[in-house]
Copies of this chain bind each other. A is one copy, B any other.
């Protein structure tokens, strides 16, 4: 039995904008309500997913900020923060909340533009441990670089494999008008010219930071043929720092969340037709595929080399462009993944519509695997 239904979705473009955080939130909120054919009066509770509103801009208490966009509505609502997995966690919470609330609005929003680079790096680093990571400079490019190095040592993964992911996702984003790099053609020469960020990761191995918002209305009951059943929802956590873990080529939280989501959906990994995974760095897409059970550990690269995860392959991964090229508006990312899967499952994905889209999956990670939320959506078998 479905855990709930996504009855409406909305999303702004991800990328730099002059719009304020509340303006972005309002744009996605209105789009999701319109898509659902509902008004705010039909909503029973709302959840705001955001990561850096406080450190970046001095904006906390965002449930009350959003309440201010809806005068007189006075709904139950809160903000959730789980680093880059905030959006996916909000979707999980919305499903839990259906026990009491019939229609729950999930709103992910983030604003990153205009924050000086060093400050932004420091703020994003707050998703790593204060004592174990931040003081040592073990920020996220560095952490994922360590994961990449260990993956290369263990399985023979190469920088060429990472490049293939970047090229694929940038090509996919060219079909997605809401993608951060929709307008940007990225070819091998661009990748070759990329500076090293944290070896082996170079510029085009890293996602951008984006402004943006995404929203979804999640309901206890289906409204119509466009309502998308959520078949499984898995959430798990792990110790925050790589220094607290023994395995560095896989994220236990992702494996646990996937097992839970598959069991709840009563499917196996092979039943998934397409996936939006958390490719904050190219290596993260490889780890995601292995954690999701799309292949054995170390075997993701053969799928990538064989074109299996390309949009015309048998298991398209990040057909939207992913975080890498679609953009990463941190608090909005997990909700944006749900937007994307819903559009595909409805056959409304336009130029990026996949040939086969019956079961779709979202995979949203916080930190370097400290949190993972996974959702399976589509037709119940």
Q: Which residues of A contact B (CB under 8 A)?
A: 20, 45, 51-52, 54-55, 57-61, 63-68, 71, 74-83, 89, 92-93, 96-100, 122-123, 125-131, 134, 235-241, 244, 252-253, 256, 366-367, 370-371
What's the number of copies of this chain in the assembled complex? 2
Q: Are B76 and A235 in contact (CB under 8 A)?
A: yes
User: Do most interface residues of chain A lie in helix, strand or loop, or is the interface mixed?
Assistant: mixed
Query: Looking across the interface, which residue of chain B has its beta carbon closest to that of A68?
Result: B239
Q: Are B75 and A237 in contact (CB under 8 A)?
A: yes
Query: Looking across the interface, which residue of chain B has its beta carbon closest to that of A370?
Result: B64
Q: Complex formed: what's the CA distance from A82 to B249 in Å?
A: 35
Other CB < 8 Å A-B pairs besides A58-B122, A64-B127, A74-B256, 14 of them?
A52-B54, A54-B55, A58-B130, A61-B126, A61-B240, A63-B370, A64-B240, A65-B129, A66-B237, A71-B244, A74-B253, A75-B236, A78-B235, A93-B97
Q: Are B68 and A60 in contact (CB under 8 A)?
A: no
Q: Are B127 and A61 in contact (CB under 8 A)?
A: yes
7 pairs, CB–CB < 8 Å, chain A vs chain B = A58-B126, A64-B238, A64-B371, A67-B239, A68-B241, A74-B252, A80-B81
Contact partners of A78 in chain B: CB under 8 A? 80-82, 89, 92-93, 235, 371
Contact partners of A54 in chain B: CB under 8 A? 52, 54-55, 123, 126
